[in-house]
Amino acid sequence: WQVALGCRAAQVLMQYCILANHYWFLVEAVYLYKLLVGAVFSEKNYYRLYLYLGWGTPVVFVVPWTAAKYLKENAEGGRAVLCMSPPLFHPPQINLLIFMRILKVILAKLRANQKGYADYKLRLAKATLTLIPLFGIHEVVFIFATDEQTTGILRYIKVFFTLFLNSFQGFLVAVLYCFANKEVKSEMKKKWELWKLDH
């Protein structure tokens, strides 16, 4: 009984973490859009709103799903398997819309400064490729190809790309936005120089 309870708790926690991951992508997208385009929320309370969106919104979907799963399993003697249906307010689709808006803004800014940036198409491609992992846009590719609908080689391709991209997403974002960032590298160099002076 305790093993079954632990298994169910792990499944609920896993679903919460998956949704929280998606909603934090949404927070990143909204925040970047806010920086590029202008104020979306008032400066006074956007941080708290981001926290509620990232950590709180998944609860809104996981709690009813957990209750429905529990009731259905009890009604059918523990044999029912309730699949996690995507929430009505699904972050990857919204991130895709924000992603397209941000690319439009970036393209307009690069075209306006075209004399300063002769390689603006290359810069746009670089911006596009760096935003894809940050916003979780790769999730949209397989959103309609559920496990029930995919068979054979397509299922293996879906599983490989989903696992690969989800596993290395944090690493990719860290490399692109931290380790490859000029400001971060200059701060690290300053800290290293200070450490060398102290020792």
Q: What would the DSSP string read from start to end of 67-109?
A: HHHHHHHHHTTT------PPPSS-HHHHHHHHHHHHHHHHHHH
Residue 6 shares a structural domain with residue 101: yes
Q: Look-up: residue for tokens 């927070």?
A: 27
**DSSP secondary-structure letter at 144?**
S
Domain limit, last residue, from 74, 98, 113:
113
pLDDT of residue 55: 92
Backbone CA torsion sign across 21, 22, 28, 31? negative
Q: Are residues 41 and 80 in the same domain?
A: yes
Structural domains counted in the chain: 2
Q: Are residues 95 and 131 in the same domain?
A: no
Which of 66-75, 95-104, 138-147 has the least mean pLDDT? 138-147
- Final residue of a domain: which of 89, 113, 137? 113
pTM above 0.85, yes or no: no
Full domain range(s) for residue 194? 117-198
List the end-to-end C-alpha distance of the chain, in Å, as a whole number.
57
- How far is residue 56 CA from its own chain's centroid? 15
106 in the same domain as 123: no
User: Residue 49: is its pLDDT beyond 70?
Assistant: yes
Residues 107 and 156 in one domain: no
Residue 38 falls in which region: left (phi positive, over 0), alpha (psi -120 to 50) or beta:
left
- Of 95, 113, 131, the residue at which a domain comes to its end is 113
In this prediction, residues 15-21 reach a mean pLDDT of 84
Amino acid at 78: G
